Amino acid sequence: MRQRLAAILSHVRGRTLADIGCDHGLIAVGALKQGRVDKVIATDISAGSLSKARALAAQEGAVDIDFRVGDGMSVLKDGEADVVVIAGMGGREIISIMSGARRGVEKYILSPHRNAKELREYLTSHGFKIDSDYIVKDGKHFYSVIICSEGVGGALTPRELYFGDNDRSDKVYAEYLRQERDKCLYVISKAGEEKTAKEQELLKLIEEEIALLC
Ligand SMILES: C[S@@+](CC[C@H](N)C(=O)[O-])C[C@H]1O[C@@H](n2cnc3c(N)ncnc32)[C@H](O)[C@@H]1O
């Protein structure tokens, strides 16, 4: 299984998982096959995507899955799921889905493929605390995996807002920072110093963080 999906699945543990935007159904089916939950509610805004998950479940003999077509958590009732996964979409889409969060969820496992900083800002200003937040590498790409729950956490530092809370001895994190540094340097070299205040600020943070790697 791909690294990103394996990392997400490793956090799933509970009675009922709601996999919002399940698409292929690998998380939904994997959670049942690994005995991580008793039941899954697999949802997707697209009926076509959900049919992929249905086909995988049938092929794998995963019977305890309730399939629902609909937008975000509108297809869930309060108390139906204690673990929720929202993965493989942009941070802004995840924010929109989290704004309809249901009661009774003990753990959210979120994995945005862009705009992770915006998502962190949203979570910490809307009654969620981030319990862990780290980078995984899958193929050539890096993804954030953010575990959060309802509650009040401390304000995030600029470093936590941009990068999450990674182990500074983790080689994947070091590789990610170097890639982000190269991206900033490229943008600054193309657009010039006057037009890249944001990138220069980020570059400074990245370089400070690189200097602290173990
Ligand atoms: C790229 S797939 C990700 C599949 C899987 N969660 C993963 O991480 O590999 C994104 C899926 O999210 C679904 N989606 C996008 N917005 C959604 C929403 N508001 N509610 C439910 N599903 C949504 C899309 O239809 C698509 O099937």
Q: What is the pLDDT of residues 57-110, one digit of tens each?
A: 999 999 999 999 999 999 999 999 999 999 999 999 999 999 999 999 999 999
* Owner of token pair 């929720």: 84
Check pLDDT > 80 for residue 1.
Answer: no
DSSP string, 115-181: -HHHHHHHHHHTTEEEEEEEEEEETTEEEEEEEEEES--PPPPHHHHHH-S--TT-HHHHHHHHHHH
**Residue ranges per domain, the chain?**
3-157, 171-211
What number does CATH give the domain 3-157?
3.40.50.150
Q: Which residue's alpha carbon is nearest to atom 24 within ligand 1?
A: 21
Q: Which residue's alpha carbon is nearest to atom 14 within ligand 1?
A: 21
C-alpha closest to that of 134 among 165, 156, 174: 165
Residue pLDDT, tens place only, 106-138: 999 999 999 999 999 999 999 999 999 999 999
pLDDT classification of 193: cutoffs 50, 70, 90: confident
Model pTM score: 0.97
Cβ 69 under 6 angstroms from ligand 1:
no
Helix axes 171-191, 197-211, angle to 10 degrees: 150
Which atom of ligand 1 approaches the CA of 111 most closely?
Answer: 8
- What percent of the chain lies above the pLDDT cut of 90? 97
Cβ 21 under 6 angstroms from ligand 1:
yes
Q: Which of 19, 46, 56, 99 to mutate to test the pocket of ligand 1 (most atoms within 8 A of CB)?
A: 46
Q: Which residue's alpha carbon is nearest to atom 7 within ligand 1?
A: 88
Average pLDDT estimate for 21-50: 98
Identify the DSSP state of 74: G
Q: Note whether 31 and 19 are within 8 A (CB).
A: yes
Check pLDDT > 70 for residue 150.
Answer: yes
Rounded to the nearest integer, the mean pLDDT of the chain is 97
Distance between Cα 185 and ligand 1 center (Å): 32
pLDDT classification of 189: cutoffs 50, 70, 90: very high
Q: Which of 1, 5, 44, 52 to mutate to test the pocket of ligand 1 (most atoms within 8 A of CB)?
A: 44
C-alpha closest to that of 113 among 1, 190, 2: 2
Which atom of ligand 1 approaches the CA of 87 most closely?
Answer: 8
Cβ 23 under 6 angstroms from ligand 1:
yes
Distance CA(103)–CA(50), nearest Å, equals 24
